């Protein structure tokens, strides 16, 4: 626990799913949390739960598609705790649909959140990490970033992009002692399926997700990557339900 306790961790998409589970897991291990999401009431509830259990957390309502808001989030962390040790780029959408349905709005939203949001997060924390010659950026990709299924073309494209960005970041910043980790979950019990707007496609995905694992499983994996000694980088993990084939 010594290499994780006291670390300052920013988590985007912290109001539910993997982000919420990660916040609780890391709080139990003694980290100082900066929680970010768009839903303030959920952030307040999570902050209170963490504090009631002896943890330390602040929050900021943040839209990851806004470069300015992501910069403000990093500034809040630095102003409050004096450093940012870890960024967990977790916020994401999965509005899957077949390409012929031309869900243009969904395409734009998923690119803005899943790709630009990750880039804005990286850009916000890199200057202070480079100055300290220390840091850790964890990007949440997906098994869809390894294998494309029918109906997931745009989502998979964004998750392939997250992996490409992460590997580029690793090669650019390893000499500055900045670690990078890609977490690629399979089916996990989250609110991702709620972002699907295609009424014909959504029931199919929901049926597939009946075998999903708890978000706690991903949270423990994130904690494992963080707690490694500073000379060890867990660069990538794929975490599926045992019963998931693809």
Q: Is 120 a catalytic residue?
A: no
Which residue among 59, 120, 155, 174 is the active-site one? 155
Alpha carbons within 13 A on the beta-carbon side of 52:
6
Contacts of 21 (CB under 8 A, 6+ apart): 214, 215, 216, 218, 219
| Bridge pairing between strands 135-140 and 178-185 | parallel
Q: Show Cβ contacts of residue 96 under 8 Å, excluding neighbours closer than 6 positions.
A: 151, 152, 154, 155, 196, 198, 201, 205
Q: How many CB atoms lie within 10 A of CB 49?
A: 15
Catalytic site positions: 155
């Amino acid at each position: 626990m010594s290499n994780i306790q006291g670390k300052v961790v920013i988590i985007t998409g912290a109001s539910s799913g993997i982000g919420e589970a990660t916040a609780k897991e890391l709080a139990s291990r003694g980290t100082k949390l900066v929680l970010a999401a768009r839903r303030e009431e959920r952030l307040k509830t999570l902050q209170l739960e963490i504090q009631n259990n002896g943890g330390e957390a602040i929050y900021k309502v943040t839209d990851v598609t806004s470069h300015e808001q992501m910069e403000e989030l990093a500034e809040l962390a630095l102003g409050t705790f004096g450093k940012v040790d870890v960024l967990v780029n977790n916020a994401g959408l999965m509005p899957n649909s077949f390409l012929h349905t031309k869900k243009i709005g969904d395409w734009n939203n998923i690119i803005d959140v899943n790709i630009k949001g990750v880039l804005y997060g990286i850009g916000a924390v890199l200057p202070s990490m480079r100055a300290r010659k220390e840091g850790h950026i964890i990007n949440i990709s997906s098994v869809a970033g390894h294998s494309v299924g029918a109906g997931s073309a745009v989502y998979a494209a964004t998750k392939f992009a997250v992996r490409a960005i992460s590997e580029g970041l690793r090669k650019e910043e390893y000499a500055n002692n900045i670690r990078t980790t890609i977490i690629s979950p399979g089916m996990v019990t989250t609110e991702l399926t709620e972002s699907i707007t295609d009424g014909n496609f959504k029931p199919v995905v929901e049926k597939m997700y009946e075998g999903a694992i708890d978000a706690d499983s991903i949270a423990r994996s994130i904690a494992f990557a963080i707690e490694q000694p500073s000379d060890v980088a867990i660069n990538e993990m794929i975490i599926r339900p045992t019963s998931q084939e693809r």
